[in-house]
Structure 1
Amino acid sequence: MAEQEILPAQQKGEEQRRSEPEPARSYFQEHPQAKWALLFLVVALAVAAYFLRKHYATRESTDDAQIDGNIVPAGSRVSGTVIKINAQDNQQVEAGAVLVELDPRDYQVALQKAEAQLADARATAHAARAAVPITTTNTASQLGNVKAAAQAASTEVADARARQAEAEANYEKAAADVRRYAELVKNDEIPRQQYDAAVAAEKAARAAVASRQAGVAVAQSRVTQAESQVSAAQTAPQQVAVTEARASGAGAAVQEAEAAVRQAQLNLEYTVIRAAVSGVISKKENVQLGQIVQPGQPLMAIVPLDDIWVTVNFKENQLKNMHPGQPATIHVDAYNRDYRAHVDSIGAATGARFSLLPPENATGNYVKVVQRVPVKLVFEKGQDPQHLLRPGMSVAPTVMTK
């Protein structure tokens, strides 16, 4: 009986448990595989975040960049009137092509005048050079002649003095005869005629002495003259030096005239204005037919599209791992295309330092601003055969720093 009573009680409890509502089960209890999927997703996101961070940690990019290039001005080096223009805006020209022609007539006349002055200077120099040996020969011959004349004058003085001595001796003899004959004639020992002859002879001897003295004086004056001529002739080296100096001066004048001719030729050549580099013409509106241009005045500009680069203004905190040689990718907005490049150089100062009004931080209202440093990127060769890239275009570069 007891077992029968127990059984109905158990059945009754089971019925009550069945009649009670079951407790709610979690999503992971109902889907036991979901927790593994969530774990995989978290791990995948963590791995993706790691690689994404690693990817961007090795790249530096900015949109503060543009294409740069040389802009070569084509200007005049002489003044003149424009008579012909051979180039138009956006025209491709080669180096050496004629762009503008100026009226050359004034410079042709100047060249002819310079050539005539050069011919005159050369003739003067030729005559001056020819005078050097002539002067040398003449001065040498003159020196020999005056020395011979001086020697002859000295000999003539000696002869004159000898004749003077002879005349003085004759005079002394004649004077002695007169004194002796005077005593004799007083005593009538000799005829008066003989005494008169002795007196006449004494006067003649005195005149001969005077004549010989005058001859000596004349000979001495000739010696003095010859000595002065010798002194003058001994300046022959100086005379030759003066002639050579004149010849050198004439040679210098020739060089000066030759330089003037070359300058006139250059000025005539400068009337034809040529392209200094190959490129595309721009700003041609600066020159018009009939315009009078001045030296140094820019007439147009040439943009050589073979030599372009990118100037990127990176923030200063982006330069930590950047150095020349690193590869880069340049996205050109105009063509939605990427170009390969590399870092060429990093600027020596921030862009603000080269501005017209550099910032002055020595004030009480200082605000720290992240500075930007210009970095030059150079395109790899052969990517722009059609020269689509133009200076000034906006680009977005990315530099691989690791």
Structure 2
Amino acid sequence: MSENTIHETPNTKRKKLLIGFTLIVIIIGVLVSLYWFMYASHFVSTDNAYTAVETAQITPAIDGTIREILVTDTQSVKAGDILVKIDPIDTKSQLDQAKANLDSAIRRVQGYIANDGNLQAQITAKEADAKRVLAQLQASQADKDKAAIDLKRREALIGSGSVSQDELTLIQNAYTTAKSNFEALQATSLEIGANLKAAQYAKKINDALIQGTTEESHPEVLAARAKLDQAEIDFNRTIIKSPIDGIVSKRYVQLGQRVQQGMNLLSVVPITKIHVDANFKEVQLPKVNVGQKAIVYSDLYGKHVIYHGIVEGFSGGTGAAFSAIPAQNATGNWIKVVQRIPVRIQLDEDELKEHPLRVGLSMNVEIDTTTNSRKE
């Protein structure tokens, strides 16, 4: 046996090593490819993510002077807890005035209703007077006509001497009296008619004030009651309560400060409602859909505290599109930059209670694109 068969040459050994290394690289490449296609390609991740929440901005609904502040920054509060009290002296005065106005309106409407009966009684009485005077006027007309006939007859006989001058004078006086009585009754009838029309007109005006209403449903009472309700609302608004559970933040209000409606006093951050805004590259999102599961951890606690989340939605545009100075891509110096789209991740409330987060913390997000999802 030759020495060449016993000992390999350096070239042969180098070839074997090269072939072995190549096989190892190929195997590693195959394994990495299998890992990528079978597992890693189903996940997208980013560390460009931050916690966020819809905070409650506490603002007064009325103007006033701050009388008492019951909370400080970082203090935990529950929904319904009193945060700030406004001096109620102005609203108390308005409330008392509104109560007095309502009482006056009720009494005024009661007067309308009572006056309606009084006016109806007046109309009835004047109608009776009109009938009575009409009967008297008819009788007086008959007396006047009779007196006129008697006078005419006596005047015809005066020349023959059948009627004395004294008798004629008496007949003339009787006619004059009958005529005067008739004219007086005519005037009385006109007066009663005018008074009746005035009472009917007054009744019509009063009817317009109360027609179709009751004491409780009268417009004047309803308007006064509405002002009273508003005054009570304004009075209750002097006590400002927390609308949600959370942490007091950014307390600007100070004791004795004069505040106006809508002025920002403080904020309440509902830390159990915190979500994550994850800014994924646009090339990472083709397979990401609403409802897919996500694994989230924070820089605060590290990887040993894992939060389980769900993709809740996508922003309506990229972060650059909503920036103060949007990018001008239609320029000659344009350079393509991969954009990021904020994806909202809903976190489990129980996990947040166990390990609370704060707004603005850095987060790491990984989404499993193979989990159940729904298209938006």
**TM superposition score normalised by structure 1:** 0.79
Instruction: Report how many aligned residue pairs link the two structures.
Output: 362
SS in 2 for 1:298: coil
Could you tell me whether the CA contact under 8 Å between 1:67 and 1:390 is conserved in 2? yes
Question: C-alpha distance in 1, partners of 2:16/2:341?
Answer: 54
Unaligned runs of 5+ in 2: 371-376
- In the alignment, is residue 305 of structure 1 matched against residue 271 of structure 2? yes
Q: Residue 236 and residue 358 in structure 1: after superposition, are their counterparts in 2 closer, same or farther (change >3 A)?
A: farther
**TM superposition score normalised by structure 2:** 0.84
Q: Residue 115 and residue 297 in structure 1: after superposition, are their counterparts in 2 closer, same or farther (change >3 A)?
A: same
AA paired with 2:122?
N
Deviates more, 1:324-333 or 1:287-296: 287-296
Of 59, 62, 75, which aligns to 2:43? 59
Could you tell me whether the CA contact under 8 Å between 1:147 and 1:226 is conserved in 2? no
Could you tell me whether the CA contact under 8 Å between 1:171 and 1:202 is conserved in 2? no
SS in 2 for 1:325: coil
Give the structure 2 partner of residue 25 of structure 1: 8
Question: C-alpha distance in 2, partners of 1:387/1:129?
Answer: 69
AA paired with 1:242?
I
Structure with the largest fraction of helix: 1
Could you tell me whether the CA contact under 8 Å between 2:272 and 2:356 is conserved in 1? no
AA paired with 2:368?
M
Could you tell me whether the CA contact under 8 Å between 1:329 and 1:341 is conserved in 2? yes
SS in 2 for 1:352: coil
SS in 2 for 1:257: helix
AA paired with 1:22?
N
Deviates more, 1:31-40 or 1:119-128: 31-40
Give the structure 2 partner of residue 342 of structure 1: 310
Give the structure 2 partner of residue 319 of structure 1: 285
Question: C-alpha distance in 1, partners of 2:127/2:355?
Answer: 84
Alignment of 1:177-192 (within 5 A): 177-178=160-161
Identity %: 25
Deviates more, 1:118-127 or 1:206-215: 206-215
Deviates more, 1:389-398 or 1:166-175: 166-175
SS in 2 for 1:73: strand
Question: C-alpha distance in 2, partners of 1:219/1:368?
Answer: 113
Could you tell me whether the CA contact under 8 Å between 2:136 and 2:185 is conserved in 1? no
Alignment of 1:24-103 (within 5 A): 25=8, 41-42=24-25, 44-54=27-37, 55-103=39-87
Q: RMSD of aligned C-alpha atoms?
A: 3.1
Q: CA deviation at 1:28?
A: 10
Give the structure 1 partner of residue 196 of structure 2: 233
Give a deviation string over 1:264-323, Cα, whole Å, max 9, x none: 222222221211111111122x12222222222222111011211111122222221111
Give the structure 2 partner of residue 108 of structure 1: 92
Of 314, 329, 335, which aligns to 1:367? 335
* Higher Cα radius of gyration: 1
Give the structure 2 partner of residue 265 of structure 1: 232
Could you tell me whether the CA contact under 8 Å between 2:147 and 2:171 is conserved in 1? no
Give the structure 1 partner of residue 246 of structure 2: 279
Q: Residue 156 and residue 47 in structure 1: after superposition, are their counterparts in 2 closer, same or farther (change >3 A)?
A: same
Could you tell me whether the CA contact under 8 Å between 2:127 and 2:196 is conserved in 1? yes
Question: C-alpha distance in 2, partners of 1:102/1:368?
Answer: 55
Deviates more, 1:338-347 or 1:118-127: 118-127
Q: Residue 388 and residue 114 in structure 1: after superposition, are their counterparts in 2 closer, same or farther (change >3 A)?
A: same
AA paired with 2:292?
Q
AA paired with 1:391?
V
Give the structure 1 partner of residue 260 of structure 2: 294
Question: C-alpha distance in 2, partners of 1:292/1:381?
Answer: 38
SS in 2 for 1:358: coil
- In the alignment, is residue 140 of structure 1 matched against residue 124 of structure 2? yes
Give the structure 1 partner of residue 373 of structure 2: none
Give the structure 1 partner of residue 223 of structure 2: 256
AA paired with 2:123?
T
Q: Residue 212 and residue 27 in structure 1: after superposition, are their counterparts in 2 closer, same or farther (change >3 A)?
A: farther
Could you tell me whether the CA contact under 8 Å between 1:168 and 1:205 is conserved in 2? no
Deviates more, 1:144-153 or 1:27-36: 27-36
Unaligned runs of 5+ in 1: 1-16, 179-197
Q: CA deviation at 1:234?
A: 4.8
Could you tell me whether the CA contact under 8 Å between 2:61 and 2:237 is conserved in 1? yes
- In the alignment, is residue 390 of structure 1 matched against residue 354 of structure 2? no
Give the structure 2 partner of residue 3 of structure 1: none
Q: CA deviation at 1:231?
A: 5.6
